[in-house]
Amino acid sequence: MLIIPAIDLLDGKAVRLYQGDYDQVSTYDNDPVVAALRLEAAGVRRIHVVDLDAARNLTGQPARHNRKVIAAIRAAVDCEVEVGGGIRRLQDVQALAEAGVDWFIVGTALVKSPEQVKHWISAYPGRFLAGIDAKDGTVKIAGWEGDSGLNDIDVAKTALELGFSGIIYTNISRDGTLVGPDFDRTNAIAAASGLPVILSGGIGSMNDIKQAVNHSHPGVCGIITGKALYEGRLDLAELCLNFPQGAADADQ
């Protein structure tokens, strides 16, 4: 099971939101590059980066983003870097590819422009993960501030049809709460899609990690954790030691 620490970027800083609410922000590190180096030193194979500034933009025009910071993170670490937030145009994909990003996480465009995304996947095969972020089973978009009106299971099936390599599934109601993840819905997404799934949202303790390892659908291949690490509830080096970081199915 791949342990994937998260760095959420807002105004160039590493932060965490509570249930996706931009009005409930906690800043954890003013230098995300230093944070990334610290995570890699603990033994991780992949870092999850979300550009919260870019995620909120729906205009299709150039928006605020943190790509310089993302490029600096990519240049500083040897581990894989997956990036989500604001990937709405081919130019966004190209910019992140030029920065050396390994995986592109697409959520809003998956819902609003699936045929366009299919072309991106053809241009950069094997590098796209579907970011499915849901509340009460309904997929949210645009930095979780918009409602797609679509069911998360249906979107997961669409991701398979379009050629995505895997899914990152987040129950927004759990994100940043430390109350434990939504195992049931994550397992349902894995079963319905047939794709490798990374669980996200709500990890608060080592017990949550153990439950994810022992009771997840076989298709669940990774766990994203953020706030629990920053608040000292989890020791990342201990996690990597207890759960050796071999290749995840989503790497294939």
CA distances from 226 to 85, 94, 102, 239 (A): 16, 27, 20, 13
Burial class from Cβ neighbours inside 10 Å (0-12, 13-18, 19+) for residue 161 reads exposed
d(CA 135, CA 160): 21
Per the annotation, the verdict on 133 as an active-site residue is: yes
* pLDDT the model gives residue 59: 53
Residue 233: Cβ-neighbour burial (10 angstroms; 0-12, 13-18, 19+) = middle
The domain spans of the chain are 2-244
Whether residue 18 is predicted with pLDDT greater than 50 in this model: the reply is yes
**159 has a pLDDT exceeding 50:** yes
What is the model's pLDDT at position 250?
52
Residue range 146-166: average pLDDT?
95
**pLDDT tens per residue across span 35-91:** 999 999 999 999 999 999 998 865 555 568 999 999 999 999 999 999 999 999 999
CB 131: neighbour CB atoms within 10 A? Answer: 29
Which residues touch 16 (CB under 8 Å, ≥6 apart)? Answer: 8, 25, 26, 28, 176, 226, 227, 230
Indicate which residue of 51, 53, 92, 133 is catalytic: 133
pLDDT of residue 246: 60
What does the pLDDT average to over 152-164? Answer: 98
Identify the active-site residue in 8, 152, 175, 182.
8
Whether the predicted pLDDT of 169 surpasses 50: yes
Mean of pLDDT values over 173-198: 95
- 252 — pLDDT class (breaks 50, 70, 90): very low
| C-beta of residue 39 within 8 angstroms of C-beta of residue 4 | no
pLDDT of 202: 94
Fold of 2-244: TIM Barrel (3.20.20)
> Is 152 labeled as catalytic in the residue annotation?
no
Q: Which helix (H) or strand (E) holds 193?
A: helix 183-193
pLDDT at 56: 80
pLDDT tens per residue across span 195-232: 999 999 999 999 999 999 999 999 999 999 999 998 99
Q: Which two tokens stand for residue 129?
A: 């993960």
